[in-house]
Structure 1
């Protein structure tokens, strides 16, 4: 496989495009909400290629230890190339391969909405926390609260129908604080708190945003034909123009909701 072909793999696209544009900024935020500190043992659930895991490792330092767990071996393959001292494991959030009371903090960002059994996953994260251990789980807020992505979703509806628009909306499906509190109660987290924090989406151009979304297997990957993609690119130049800044960079808010809990 040549380098160009490898770069087209979903995990490569995610790490090269989505992480700097969206996800890297959230690592320190989620770690702060979980109170991660020097010397902690930390677990990152649904770690992907390691955006949050790397932030946790930087804070915990050499006196701490960090584990990144993901169900996707391709994501982990990219993560393992990072020059950091992190243990990368393949596994599911609903059956964490650790004994009780293993971690000072458990964190997770932008994977929870894709878990099959969300209450079970939360209860598993709490199970592996030490007494007084801290949990922070971030999900995308509702798409309507992200002006650029909301406009993009409506454009997809108009051009290709609601089914395609809803495929794009999948990562925003848990953007409801009430629903997150309900899931937390189902998991036995009676004292869980849900907080809202704001972040930014930044792509170098409208073309870069649209091309990256088209390559994403979790949303539009494989959904659009080449002809449809060209039409989307053309229309997006107009629809997303209000969100462009400095030399064509596209930028807009993308808030998240974070479930916070503490093990007693």
Structure 2
């Protein structure tokens, strides 16, 4: 990773690296699980730079309306560069700035695990749904079910201790059906469905994967020194080699769990 890469804003790293490697393919999947249709009014909670929001916008078409909400103004600044006719709003999932019964569908992908008050966020998302409205919230499945990321976490454990490995595991902490069911039960969503969907991670190289993860403020951002990063990159060339295809590209499974409910 050169000096220019290290200086990039985390929101740009997210949009330029994580979105194509991981998040963009999930947009149509989550939208389908929420039953998004042409003409719907849809809210994307924790929209980031808009990977899911853009997918929803294509489905609802000009007769629909899409709102993307995120607590991070830097993420929204990147999202607003997109040409789509989408309303971008800053706000917290636990206090959605919308009236009751105002959306046909609410969707969210790979943000729920970072919410401070998860039951409150679920309550809020259900509150703003119209009667009959649909909810779909995607989280990463357990890291053990993602062979490449599990190997990477174990490598971090070995090189720098379990505290660093667990920092990387943070996005996977809700990858447990029983835990999700318990969270739903706290807000009266005992009849929510939780489905597992297959997915893949695909980076252009091992270097790209490691550099992107190092820059991620939600996991390893600021955790590793330059010397530690150089060591990690060297060791990763061996640890992640089983997942390399076509000579350089690295690809492996990363399934998700999707919480589905109807009001």
| TM tier relative to shorter chain | over 0.9
CA contact (8 A) 2:143 2:149 kept: yes
Q: Which residue of 1 aligns with 2:235?
A: 235
Q: Map of 1:172-183 to 2, 5 A cutoff?
A: 172-183=172-183
Q: Distance in 1 between matches of 2:222 and 2:119?
A: 30
2:6·2:215 contact (CA, 8 Å) conserved in 1? no
1:153-197 deviations in Å (ceiling 9; x for gaps): 000000000000000000001000000000001011121010000
- The reply to whether residue 207 of structure 1 matches residue 207 of structure 2 is yes
Aligned pairs for 1:32-43 (under 5 A) are 32-43=32-43
TM-superposition CA deviations, 1:95-122 (whole Å, max 9, x none): 1000001100000000000001101100
- Equivalent residues in 2 for 1:89-168, closer than 5 Å: 89-168=89-168
1:214/1:224 contact within 8 Å kept:
yes
Cα distance in 2 for partners of 1:7, 1:99 equals 40
- Matches of 1:88 and 1:105, distance apart in 2: 16
Q: CA deviation at 1:5?
A: 7.5
Matched, 1:171 2:154: no
Tell me which residue corresponds to 2:68: 68
After TM superposition, give the deviation of residue 246 of structure 1 in Å.
1.0
> Secondary structure of 1:108's partner?
strand
**Quick check: 1:6–1:12 contact (8 Å CA) kept in 2?**
no
| Secondary structure, aligned partner of 1:247 | coil
Q: Describe the SS at the equivalent of 2:49.
A: coil
1:206-239 alpha-carbon deviations (Å, 9 max, x no partner): 0000000001111001100111001000000000
Q: CA RMSD in A?
A: 1.0
Give 4+ residue runs of structure 1 displaced > 6 Å after superposition: none
State the Cα distance separating 1:247 from its structure 2 match: 2.6
Give the distance between the partners of 1:61 and 1:206, measured in 2 at CA. Answer: 38
User: Is 1:196 paired with 2:196?
Assistant: yes
1:50 matched residue in structure 2: 50
Q: Distance in 2 between matches of 1:177 and 1:6?
A: 37
Aligned equivalents of 1:187 and 1:28: distance in 2?
27
CA distance in 1, matches of 2:115, 2:212: 23
Name the SS of the counterpart of 2:232 in structure 1: helix
CA contact (8 A) 2:137 2:260 kept: yes
Aligned with 1:222: secondary structure? coil
Gaps of 5+ in 2: none
| Aligned 8 A contact 1:140 1:254 in 2 | yes
Alpha carbons of structure 1 residues 5 and 153: separation in structure 2 relative to 1, 3 Å: closer
Q: How many residues align?
A: 260
